[in-house]
């Protein structure tokens, strides 16, 4: 009997040991199902504006909760320092210069809904790939990637033509011109010049007419009439666009339909939140992608009465706290629907805060923490280093900080991989899949070099020297701050990319961000033994990168950015474009 019991025990133990040997080491679970994906993107938010990145005057408990329950990136880099090119790179995983979405002139973003430039139809966004993988895809909020190419309804640049199955929001971007009580923001100085020229022409016409009547000078009525007609045509040529910015740019759309023209700003926040919650509810039974592209915290800082005066950082702080509340509402819905453990949530900003945005003593732009520079400055960290937070309970570790260079372009391959899609092989994708880094299976980012463009002009290059831990950055071009030493271009309102407003450096300014993240003290050949070696290595990488660039149509050329009446979205018969279809609901 004892012999039989011994044999029975051995027959049980042997397969048990064999099974244990086959078990993988204890790591985070493997990805077997397609997750829901929720992408939050703030507008003009500085990295220093939220609590988990060091702010103690603006309350952001919901964004901070994401960081506690997930992974916080401390070197998350935007591919451009302005909205249009940064978002183009985010959507395509490619530097904006590859798609023609970086400018050769001073018009560095989409300027009109009635312009012909925009994200080219031949670009493949991550939304398009996820849609092909069976995802319900939705964009709620800001687009700013163009609408039409050749007619008012071809919608070649529209979100629905780029993989989003549902769109509700602003095809443009929020600007102060959208509110009648705010001073104008769009092309402010240029409009002042146009008014001046119009007044001069009007005065000249009146002077010649009076001179003709009184006989002081010999001038024909035909000449006076021609001058009057020219003055009138000149006025009409610019006032037909700039005089009606609220109607042409400040509109809301649902899919291809204009629903508000001009938009009713008092209810915009509640409608965007309602649409976001509704999208989750409609699609909770299948994988979905929700890109909630906030209008916060771009001027004119639309803030509901509930949040006005509640922060310790003025109207800007009120606006950020309202955005955080909106994040919380969406997270609550995700949890209520039982989707928390099957949803990857991501939060970021499109670029750094706008330092120059002020009205009198009011600071209306964001704070970029310890980092130098801000919005529109491609090289300085304050313009491109942004918050980056991921949460996916059970799949990503909680309360984790990663201090490795990553890019907004990395979202593209990351979500495509999670959805079971394939990265396009017919083009260069500059982003890298972040899941190994986020899950801790690798220790270093795949990025060795990152290139920092201001329009089509390369201003700086970052080299992640992984064996030493150094993060070198060489500045070839920097903006000239005004007034001198001010840290921003207050005299211009925004820093330029080229011309007299920039300084070219030869040799380039060199910093090691691992030792000097504020870029306070440039290194020299006398203070850094590796100076020449580093500059030469970055130079070779830059040449290699430039060889990968191919000529493409310039989407932000003057022709493409100018207003064209025949391309203007209109909810009536042009030029009688006004409606409020949300008010009819």
Parallel/antiparallel/unpaired status of strands 400-407 and 71-77: parallel
Secondary structure class of 344 (helix, strand, coil): strand
Token pair for 330: 């969406």
Contacts of 33 (CB under 8 A, 6+ apart): 342
Strand order in the sheet with 457-465: 449-454, 457-465, 470-479, 502-512
Known active-site residue 545: no
Peptide bond connecting 262 to the previous residue in cis, omega within 30 degrees of 0: yes
Q: What is the CA radius of gyration of the chain?
A: 27
Tally of CB atoms within 10 A around 566 = 11
HEC sequence for 522-536: CECCCCCCCHHHHHH
Parallel/antiparallel/unpaired status of strands 288-293 and 136-142: parallel
Known active-site residue 313: no
What is the Cα–Cα distance from 399 to 478, expressed in whole angstroms? 36
End-to-end CA distance of the chain: 84
Q: How far is CA 189 from CA 47, 150, 184, 196, 492, in A?
A: 29, 30, 10, 11, 9
Contacts of 569 (CB under 8 A, 6+ apart): 113, 114, 147, 148, 152, 171, 251, 253, 258, 261, 577
* 50-53: long-range pairs with CB below 8 Å, 24+: 50/320, 50/324, 50/387, 52/387, 52/389, 53/369, 53/387
What is the Cα–Cα distance from 421 to 137, expressed in whole angstroms? 14
* 21-29: long-range pairs with CB below 8 Å, 24+: 27/439, 27/441, 28/394, 28/395, 28/396, 28/397, 28/439, 28/440, 29/394, 29/395
Secondary structure class of 21 (helix, strand, coil): helix
Per the residue annotation, which of 76, 144, 155, 447 is the catalytic one? 144
Per the residue annotation, which of 19, 52, 76, 83 is the catalytic one? 83
Contact 113, 568 (CB under 8 A): yes
Contacts of 243 (CB under 8 A, 6+ apart): none
Tally of CB atoms within 10 A around 496 = 19
Task: Provide the annotated active-site residues.
Answer: 83, 144
């Amino acid at each position: 009997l004892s012999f039989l019991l011994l044999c029975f025990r051995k027959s049980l133990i042997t397969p048990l040991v064999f099974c244990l040997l086959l078990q993988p080491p204890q790591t985070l679970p493997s990805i077997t199902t397609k997750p829901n994906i929720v992408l939050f993107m703030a507008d003009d938010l500085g990295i220093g504006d939220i609590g988990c990145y060091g702010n103690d005057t603006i309350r952001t408990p919901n964004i901070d909760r994401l960081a506690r329950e997930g992974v916080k990136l401390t070197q998350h880099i935007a591919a451009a320092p302005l909205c249009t090119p940064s978002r183009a790179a985010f959507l395509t995983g490619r530097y904006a210069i590859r798609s023609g979405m970086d400018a050769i002139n001073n018009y560095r973003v989409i300027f009109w809904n009635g312009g012909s430039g925009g994200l080219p139809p031949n670009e493949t966004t991550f939304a398009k790939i996820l849609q092909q993988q069976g995802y319900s895809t939705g964009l709620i909020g800001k687009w700013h990637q163009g609408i039409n190419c050749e007619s008012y309804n071809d919608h070649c640049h529209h979100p629905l033509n780029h993989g989003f199955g549902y769109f509700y929001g602003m095809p443009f971007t929020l600007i102060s011109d959208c509110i009648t009580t705010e001073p104008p923001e769009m092309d402010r100085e240029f409009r002042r010049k146009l008014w001046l020229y119009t007044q001069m022409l009007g005065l000249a016409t009146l002077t010649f007419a009076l001179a003709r009547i009184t006989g002081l000078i010999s001038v024909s009525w035909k000449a006076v009439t021609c001058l009057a007609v020219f003055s009138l045509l000149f006025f009409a040529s610019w006032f037909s666009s700039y005089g009606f910015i609220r109607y042409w740019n400040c509109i809301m759309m649902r899919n291809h339909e204009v629903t508000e023209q001009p938009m009713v700003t008092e209810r915009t926040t509640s409608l965007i939140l309602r649409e976001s919650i509704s999208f989750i509810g409609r699609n909770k039974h299948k994988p979905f992608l929700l890109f909630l592209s906030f209008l916060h915290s771009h001027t004119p800082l639309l803030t509901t009465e509930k949040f006005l005066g509640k922060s310790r950082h003025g109207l800007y702080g009120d606006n950020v706290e309202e955005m955080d509340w909106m994040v919380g509402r969406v997270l609550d819905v995700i949890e209520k629907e039982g989707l928390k453990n099957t949803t990857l949530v991501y939060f970021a900003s499109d670029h750094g805060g706008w330092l120059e945005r002020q009205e009198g003593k009011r600071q209306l732009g964001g704070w970029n923490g310890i980092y130098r520079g801000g919005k529109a400055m491609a090289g300085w960290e304050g313009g491109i280093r942004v918050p980056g937070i991921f949460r996916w309970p059970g799949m990503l570790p909680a309360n984790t900080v990663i201090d490795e260079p990553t890019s907004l372009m990395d979202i593209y391959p990351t979500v495509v991989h999670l959805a079971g899609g394939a990265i396009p092989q017919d083009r260069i994708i500059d982003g890298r899949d972040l899941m190994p880094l986020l899950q801790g299976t690798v220790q270093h980012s795949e990025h060795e070099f990152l290139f920092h463009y201001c329009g089509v002009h390369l201003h700086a290059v970052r080299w992640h020297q992984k064996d030493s831990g150094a993060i070198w950055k060489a500045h070839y071009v920097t903006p000239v701050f005004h007034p001198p030493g001010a840290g921003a271009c207050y005299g211009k309102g925004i820093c330029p990319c080229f011309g007299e407003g920039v300084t070219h450096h030869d040799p380039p300014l060199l910093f090691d961000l691992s030792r000097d993240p504020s870029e306070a003290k440039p290194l020299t050949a006398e203070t850094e033994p590796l100076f020449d070696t580093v500059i030469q290595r970055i130079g070779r990488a830059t040449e290699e990168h430039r060889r990968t660039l191919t000529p493409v149509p310039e989407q932000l050329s003057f022709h493409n950015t100018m207003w064209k009446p025949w391309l203007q979205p209109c909810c009536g018969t042009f030029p009688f474009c006004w409606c409020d279809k949300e008010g009819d609901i």
